[in-house]
Structures are given as C-alpha cells and as structure tokens.
Amino acid sequence: MLHAPASPQADLQSEPNDFSAILAEQTDRLLAQHVTPACLKAADGGVFPAAAWEAVSDAWLPLALVPEAAGGVGLDAPAAAQILRRSGYHALPAPLAETMLGLALWSAAGGAAVEGPVSLATGLLRLASGTILAEGTMAHVPWAGAAGHVLAIAEAPDGARHLALLPRAAYTIVPRRNLANEPRETLHIGTAPLGPDALLPLPAPLAGPDGLMLFGAFARAQQMAGAMERCLDLAVAYANERKQFGKPIGRFQAVQQMLAVAAGESAAAGAAAQVAAAAWNTDQFPLAVAIAKARCGEAAGKVAEICHQVHGAMGFTQEHVLHFITRRLWAWRDECGNDAHWQERIGRMVCAQGGAALWPRLVALRAAANGDRGTQP
Amino acid sequence: MPDMRFATVAFPKDAEDLRLQVRRFLEAEKADGRFVPHRSSWNTFDPDFSRRAAKAGYVGLTLPEAYGGHARSSLARFVATEEMLAAGAPCGAHWIADRQSAPQILRHGTQVARDHIIPRICAGECYFGIGMSEPDSGSDLAAVRSKAVRGAGGWVLNGQKIWTTNAHRVHYLLALVRTGDAGADRHGGLTQFIIDMAAPGISVRPIHDLSGNHEFNEVFFTDHFVADDFVVGEVGDGWSMVTQELAFERSGPDRFMSDYRLLTELVDRIGPAPDARQAVETGRLVAHMGALMAMSGSVAALLDRDIVPNVEAALVKDVGTAFERDIPEVARRLVAVEASLDAQDDRFAEALADVALRAPSFTLRGGTREILRGVIARGLGLR
C-alpha cells in the first residue's frame, strides 16, 4: 500500500508538497480507521491493538526506512518522519516508531531481515565474553512485551561496542507503564549466548554519547510534533463549539491569544522536527535531533497546558479523547532524554566552540536539507 | 487546524555561494573597524555602510537588473540578510527600502516612480520610512485619518503620521492614506503614496525613545502635493497592499535576530566550560534559534513562489520576538553583571545594556504581539 515514488528525489524537488501531502493523507486515513477512541481505551487498559498493528504492517509502514534492496520501502527520512508525526497525531498505541527505526538501523548495520515489532533499548547491554550476555537489567524498554526483538548496544569486557538484536528468549519482563499507560518495561537479561547473527559492528551514528537514545529522541520528537498538532485541532474545535455568555468561547480574545501561543509553539516544534528529519544521514544529525527533542519537549508542556485550559473540566475527564494525546506528550517529553538533557548537550557544544562558531554551525544545520537524503542512517 | 506551511526548505546553491561572499565582505568591514558588532544592529542608520554594501552588490538583490538590482531570488536575499544580522552589521539606512518599499514600488508603482527611485535604492543611496501608524491608528490600521483629495495632476495630503522610523533622515515614506469611504469591512478607501520628504508641506518632529535615541518621529502633512506618478497601486487598493507588505516585514530573520549578538557575547562570556545551568539555558536558546531559522526560511520560500503567507509570517514574528525578549532575561541570570552602555572593556555588559533598552520595541513594532496573535487566531478559524 505504501509506495515510494519512482524517483523520490526528483519528485520531492519538483513539487515539494505533493508527495508529502499524499503520504500524510494515506497515513491519516489508515490510522483514523483503526486508532479509534475504543482502540485507545483498550490499549490504555493494556490490550495490544492487534488489528491496528496488522493494518500498519500491511501498509509496510514499519519498513519505510529499510532500502528497497533489503526488502523495505526505501522512503527518505523526511517522508518517514512524516509518518511518525501522523502516528503521534493519532496517538497510535503501538511501537511503529521503535520498529521503523530499529529495522532501519539493523538493516543498515548489515543485519538480516526480522519481523516486527522491534523495540529499542537505550540502556547499555553487557557481554560477559564472546556472544554470552552478562546478567543485568535494562529499564524503560518500550513495548518490550509486544516486540519479538529488542535492539540494543552491547559492550564487551574490552570496551568494544556492538549492535545487538536480542531475541525474546534472552530476557524476562517486569511490566511498567508510562503516563499514557504505554508499556515501558524493565528487562532482566539472562546469561544465554546470542546467535552468531545477533551481534554486528556498531554503525558510526550510534557511536556517539547518546547511542540509541539519539534515535529514540528523533522518534519522540516527531511523535510529539504530531501530537501537538492534534491537541491544537481538538482545542480549536472545542473553542468553536462550546458556548458561554451566549457565544463560542473561541470568540473571546483571551482564548484566542492562548491558542495563538499554542500554535506558535506547535509550529516551532514541527519545524525543528523537520530539520532533524532532513539531517538524517548527515553530520548534522546529532545536533538536529538535540534541537528537535529540546524544542518539542519544551513546547509539549505549554501546548498541553493551554489545550487543557481551553477544554475546561471536560478535557479532564476519562471520557474525552484529549488525555490520550496530552498524557503521551507528558510521557514522551521525558523519554529518551528530557529537554534539559538535550539542551545541556547543545549548550556544552556551543560554549566549547565559542560565539563566533555558532552562526556557521546553525547555517550548516539548516543546510542539511540541501544534502544527501539517503535511507541509511 | 489549517495546514501551516513550514516545510523544510533547501536553499539553492547560488544563495549559499552568495552567503560566503557576504560573509567575506562583512569580515573585511569589521577588520577595518567600520562597525562594532555588539553596538549596532539592523536599526543602526549608517548611510556609508549602506553605500558600501550596495557597491559590493548586496542591496536590491531581488530587484531587476534593469534598475540596478541583481535579479536574485528571495532566498538569496534572505541569506544575505541573515548574514548581515549575524554579523551585527549597521543595516538601518537601506533596510526598509530594500525589504519592503522597493518590492512594492516594483510590483505596484508607476513606471516613472520605478525609474526614479529603484536604481537609487539599489545604489544604497535612497532610504524609506513606513507611513502606516497615526495617533489614532496604531494596531487599528484601518482607522487611518490622513486624507488625500484630488488636485491637478495628483493629490493633496493633510494629516499626521507617528512612530515613523528615520523620518528625519530618509528620502521617502511609503504612506497609507485615506482617499475614500472605508466601506462595511473598513478596508476600503485607502491608498499608498510615495511621499517625498524634501517636498513642501511636510514637517518632522522627533520622538526620543526611552534610552534617548532618536529613531521615531511625528510627520505632519499640510497641503502636501503628491503627483499621480507617486501613487502606488490602484486608488482605494491600499489595504491589500499593506497586508502583503506586512508578510515581508514580519517573517524575516530580523524578527528573531535583533539581539543575536547578545547571544554570542553570552556564549563567549560563559566560556568553554559552562556549568550545568549555563549549558542548559544556553542550549535552550540555541534550540529556539534553530527552530526559528527553519520557520523563517520556509516563509521565504513561500514568498519566492508568490504566496502571501500572512499567518505563517505572524507566527514567525510572534515566536521570534518572544525569543528576542527572552535572550536578555536569560543572559542576566546566567552571568551576573551590571549592564552599562559604556562599560568600555566589557562587551557583554554593553550588549546587555543595549538590548535591555531596545527590547520593549521588539514585540511592538511591525504589529504588536496581540495583533499578531489575532491574525494567528483568524488563521486557526477562531474569528
């Protein structure tokens, strides 16, 4: 169902918005059909949305970033990021982001094809010797119970790092949930030996200080950008519909001004998320992700606050859908490094390089949109 | 929510080549001591700098070659503009003429006006002010009362403008004047005129700002004559033209880089080993800046395709000027210093003082924060 254009580069350049608009529309239609309030409510209670996941998988969305030659769709990162933003818009309660990035990274590292769902662990796995895992735990692993595999970085006793794909048999799971009741389990790692194909050399983009968390942050930034758009849509619709003092509350300037602030925050967050997508596979990616996660994380709190305020008591109820979005925003802004974590990363880099270096650095960041948009991270 | 068009934009190669040329030009200017970055900005009026920038080819970038311009894209101009701002160049003299007056005259002006004025703008020798605000017409622009009536071969103007930046040293104003009935939507009966500041019937009175600077003025028209050649656009069509003009005025990098030099001074003052709080707060500002650069670039790309993105421009200015006002507030908490305009050996203290005293204007000029949020709310479908 999901098709890359014959020549994505050419298409995107001639009509920057066409392909992207069609993709967004297709994704929206699919998700609106399956991610219903009933589906969200069930997922909130711990039921994995099997039908939604099947639809998403049938549309090849998890394979968006795997090259065609490796059996994937071969979308470029901006297009794939658009899918993630739409999944955030609909609050898809399933590991699409984790699987999409996990499969892309595993494939780029040379790994054999695996079935989704796949999870990404941001903690460090330890090897006792060779391919034998040391006992240990990894916390906050998203959707580990639903996933068949967990992608992680494994460190050997000599300090060498590898990309590891843990099969389900390699760990036991202790349930834990985030604010949106999405699974964020703790894994207890046993001492089982990994198969020969489960450890690969660590690709360069994962060698930085944040490892897989960089890619997790990329995903959460996209999801947050989409979720903020949804929050704003809900709040604007509610403000136009709810009447007090004889007119819709959206006619009051106080309400208009608040929503305009939310729109500004949402727009800035979305722009930062798109820069990160454009910087995929370039040297600018780590800074672009840091900026996107920091900006989206900061905006998420403000947008959620304003949209709740506009919804009044109704938005505070279980019955209204708003909380499916806002609880995710509150969870996602703290996952994979909160805004302060990424702000500190940016600040240390900028201060180390000095004031004069800042401008060329920011220009190079935005110019990443001019660069090669490969599908290999 | 209607689609807010902030798609990531790829800058063409010729724009990036131009960037390096502009950067070299500005480095030479600085090296020769022709401007002091932390003491100047796009508000600093320096005709010598404007002439040198024009000679180097960086004024009138988007204007046709026939008028002495360089026939480049808006994205090329955008790149040159942001380089000027990042360097803290004193761009104030040619700024308004280059940013909005010349494009308006080119698009809507008479051939006589184009021939007479645009080549001098491109040479960095002709400067403009904006004649929109009046004593009773600030945010409520449609309340303009300055009035023009028909005379022989032109119009006779009476009335007053206020907050007119540089009126005492520019050659022309592009002024919005009432020429007929407002009509039910209040937007009718307005016309744009080119006002020759050297012609009879004009007097200018200074308004000093809170730090003693003289940028603003009151301008009085007493039977001031404007020839038909200096009417811009159709009579009665002024409202739609100023709205277009505002998209140029509101979306550029000058709406989040007015105090960029304070940010770089802050980074230098903190030094290479920040503590956690300094790193977090500085990183936060840089993240905001990165997002704004992307937003503003997207709007420039829309303008290049002749789309008038009023709502997006309002978003850039609202978010951008909030960021500009945030910089000094963050900076003073990270580095304890007593701001002073004549701190001599302390660039940070001087930059902080300069910005602290200019900051209130950031969220007023070019449309107040509240008006912008009204424009955004309309874009959201709330009014």
The domain spanning residue B33 has which CATH number?
1.10.540.10
Q: Is the separation of the CB atoms in A56 and A90 below 8 Å?
A: no
* B249: annotated active-site residue: yes
Q: Please say which residue of A108, A130, A162 terminates a domain.
A: A108
Distance in angstroms (rounded) separating the CA atoms of residues A120 and B14: 41
Higher-confidence position of A319 and B185: A319
Give the range of the structural domain holding residue A69, as residue numbers without chain letter: 8-108
Distance in angstroms (rounded) separating the CA atoms of residues B157 and B180: 13
Residue B126's nearest CA partner among B161, B156, B96 is B96
Q: Is the separation of the CB atoms in B89 and B81 below 8 Å?
A: no
> What CATH number is attached to the domain comprising A172?
2.40.110.10
Stretch 208-237 of chain A: residues touching chain B, C-beta under 8 Å? 229, 232-233, 236
Structural element, H or E, at residue B156: strand B154-162
pLDDT computed for residue A370 by the predictor: 65
Pair A185, A264 in one domain: no
- Burial of residue A173, with CB atoms counted within 10 A of its CB: 0-12 exposed, 13-18 middle, 19 or more buried: middle
> What is the DSSP code (8-state) at residue B237?
B
Taken as a whole, chain B contains a residue count of: 383
Residue A376 belongs to some domain of the structure: no
Task: Using the predicted structure, report yes or no on whether residue A1 has a pLDDT greater than 60.
Answer: no
Task: Using the predicted structure, report yes or no on whether residue A4 has a pLDDT greater than 90.
Answer: no
Higher-confidence position of A359 and B301: A359
CB contact under 8 A, A343 and B382: no
Residues from chain B contacting residue A340 (CB–CB below 8 Å):
280
Whether A175 contacts chain B with CB within 8 A:
no
* Tokens of residue B179, six digits: 């020429």
Report the mean per-residue pLDDT for chain B: 93
Pair A252, A234 in one domain: yes
Q: Where are the beta strands (DSSP E) in B163-290?
A: 172-178, 190-196, 202-208, 214-227, 231-232
Residues from chain B contacting residue A346 (CB–CB below 8 Å):
279, 282-284, 286-287
Tell me which chain B residue has its CA closest to the CA of residue A355.
B264
Q: Is the separation of the CB atoms in A20 and A82 below 8 Å?
A: yes
pLDDT computed for residue A376 by the predictor: 39
Confidence of residue A286 (pLDDT cuts 50, 70, 90): very high
Structural element, H or E, at residue B362: helix B347-362
Residues from chain B contacting residue A233 (CB–CB below 8 Å):
1
Task: Using the predicted structure, report yes or no on whether residue B88 has a pLDDT greater than 70.
Answer: yes
CB contact under 8 A, A358 and B274: no
* Tokens of residue A373, six digits: 């948009």
Pair B287, B375 in one domain: yes
Q: Is the separation of the CB atoms in B181 and B188 below 8 Å?
A: yes
Q: Distance of CA B370 to CAs A250, A286, B376, Å? A: 15, 36, 10
Distance in angstroms (rounded) separating the CA atoms of residues A284 and A307: 33
Residue A105's nearest CA partner among A84, A115, A116, A120 is A120
> What is the DSSP code (8-state) at residue B355?
H
Q: Peptide bond before A117: cis, by omega within 30 degrees of 0?
A: yes
Mind spelling out the 3-state secondary structure of chain A? CCCCCCCHHHHHHHCCCHHHHHHHHHHHHHHHHHCCHHHHHHHHCCCCCHHHHHHHHHCCHHHCCCCHHHCCCCCCHHHHHHHHHHHHHCCCCCCHHHHHHHHHHHHHCCCCCCCCCEEEEEEEEEEEECCEECCEEEEEEECCCCCCEEEEEEECCCCCEEEEEEEHHHEEEECCECCCCCEEEEEEECCCECCCCCEEECCHHHCCCCCHHHHHHHHHHHHHHHHHHHHHHHHHHHHHHCEECCEEHHHCHHHHHHHHHHHHHHHHHHHHHHHHHHCCCCCCHHHHHHHHHHHHHHHHHHHHHHHHHHHHHHHHCCCCCHHHHHHHHHHHCCCCCCHHHHHHHHHHHHHHHCHHHHHHHHHHHHHHHHCCCCCCC
Whether A1 contacts chain B with CB within 8 A:
no
pLDDT computed for residue A13 by the predictor: 39
CB contact under 8 A, A274 and B268: no
Residue B245 belongs to some domain of the structure: no
Residue B172's nearest CA partner among B103, B225, B228, B101 is B101
Question: Cα–Cα–Cα angle for B345, B346, B347, nearest 5°?
Answer: 115
- At A83, which amino acid appears? I
* Tokens of residue A92, six digits: 């898809």
Closest CA of chain B from A6, distance in Å: 21
CB contact under 8 A, A355 and B265: yes
Q: Please say which residue of A108, A126, A151 terminates a domain.
A: A108
Confidence of residue B249 (pLDDT cuts 50, 70, 90): confident
Residue with tokens 């002006």: B109
Total of domains in chain B: 3
Pair B285, B297 in one domain: yes
Task: Using the predicted structure, report yes or no on whether residue B311 has a pLDDT greater than 80.
Answer: yes
- At B172, which amino acid appears? Y
Residue B104's nearest CA partner among B192, B188, B169, B235 is B192
Task: Using the predicted structure, report yes or no on whether residue A3 has a pLDDT greater than 80.
Answer: no
Write the pLDDT tens digit of every residue in A147-156. Answer: 999 999 999 9
CB contact under 8 A, B370 and A291: no
For residue B332, how far is the Cα from the chain centroid? 27
pLDDT computed for residue B307 by the predictor: 80
* Tokens of residue A281, six digits: 């596979």
Distance in angstroms (rounded) separating the CA atoms of residues A259 and B380: 8
> What CATH number is attached to the domain comprising B337?
1.20.140.10
Q: Provide mean pLDDT across the span B73-87.
A: 92
Residues from chain B contacting residue A278 (CB–CB below 8 Å):
8
Higher-confidence position of A10 and B19: B19
Q: Please say which residue of A44, A73, A108 terminates a domain.
A: A108
Q: Is the separation of the CB atoms in A76 and A8 below 8 Å?
A: yes
Distance in angstroms (rounded) separating the CA atoms of residues B58 and B95: 11
Pair B21, B121 in one domain: yes
Residue A113 belongs to some domain of the structure: no
Residues from chain A contacting residue B319 (CB–CB below 8 Å):
264-265, 267-268
Structural element, H or E, at residue B154: strand B154-162
pLDDT computed for residue B266 by the predictor: 98
Residue A1 belongs to some domain of the structure: no
Distance in angstroms (rounded) separating the CA atoms of residues B33 and A168: 67
Task: Using the predicted structure, report yes or no on whether residue A64 has a pLDDT greater than 50.
Answer: yes
Pair A217, A361 in one domain: yes
Per the residue annotation, which of B249, B281, B312, B324 is the catalytic one?
Answer: B249
Q: Provide mean pLDDT across the span A122-150.
A: 95
pLDDT computed for residue A5 by the predictor: 42
CB contact under 8 A, A256 and B382: yes
Residues from chain B contacting residue A370 (CB–CB below 8 Å):
10-11, 13, 16
pLDDT computed for residue A372 by the predictor: 40
Interface predicted TM-score of the whole assembly (ipTM), two decimals: 0.94
Q: Distance of CA A310 to CAs A91, A151, A159, B381, Å? A: 20, 41, 52, 15
Report the DSSP pairing between strands A171-174 and A184-189. antiparallel
For residue B341, how far is the Cα from the chain centroid? 24
Residue A124 belongs to some domain of the structure: yes
Residue A3 belongs to some domain of the structure: no
Report the mean per-residue pLDDT for chain A: 93
Residue B247 belongs to some domain of the structure: no
> What's the farthest any 2 CA atoms get from each other in chain A?
73
Percent of chain B with pLDDT over 70: 99
CB contact under 8 A, B380 and A367: no
CB contact under 8 A, B281 and A261: no
Give the range of the structural domain holding residue B358, as residue numbers without chain letter: 252-380
Among A229, A264, A344, the residue with its CB nearest the CB of B1 is A229
For residue B194, how far is the Cα from the chain centroid? 18
Question: Cα–Cα–Cα angle for A232, A237, A238, nearest 5°?
Answer: 100
Residue B287's nearest CA partner among A342, A227, A283 is A342
Pair B94, B206 in one domain: no
Q: Residue A172 pairs with which residues in a beta bridge?
A: A188
pLDDT computed for residue A234 by the predictor: 98
Q: Please say which residue of B207, B237, B267 terminates a domain.
A: B237
Confidence of residue A2 (pLDDT cuts 50, 70, 90): low
Report the DSSP pairing between strands B172-178 and B128-131. parallel
As a whole number of Å, the CA-based R_g of chain B is 21
Among B1, B13, B279, the residue with its CB nearest the CB of A347 is B279
Residue B331 belongs to some domain of the structure: yes
Pair B159, B195 in one domain: yes
pLDDT computed for residue A257 by the predictor: 98
Q: Provide mean pLDDT across the span B140-154.
A: 94
Q: Provide mean pLDDT across the span A321-329.
A: 98
pLDDT computed for residue A17 by the predictor: 62
Distance in angstroms (rounded) separating the CA atoms of residues A366 and A74: 23
For residue B151, how far is the Cα from the chain centroid? 33
Higher-confidence position of A23 and A42: A42
Pair B183, B226 in one domain: yes
Total of domains in chain A: 3
Distance in angstroms (rounded) separating the CA atoms of residues B362 and B366: 9
Residue B223 belongs to some domain of the structure: yes
Confidence of residue A371 (pLDDT cuts 50, 70, 90): low
Pair B113, B37 in one domain: yes
Q: How far apart are the first and last CA of chain A?
A: 24
* Tokens of residue B196, six digits: 């020759």
Higher-confidence position of B14 and B324: B324
Q: How far apart are the first and last CA of chain B?
A: 13
Pair B228, B322 in one domain: no
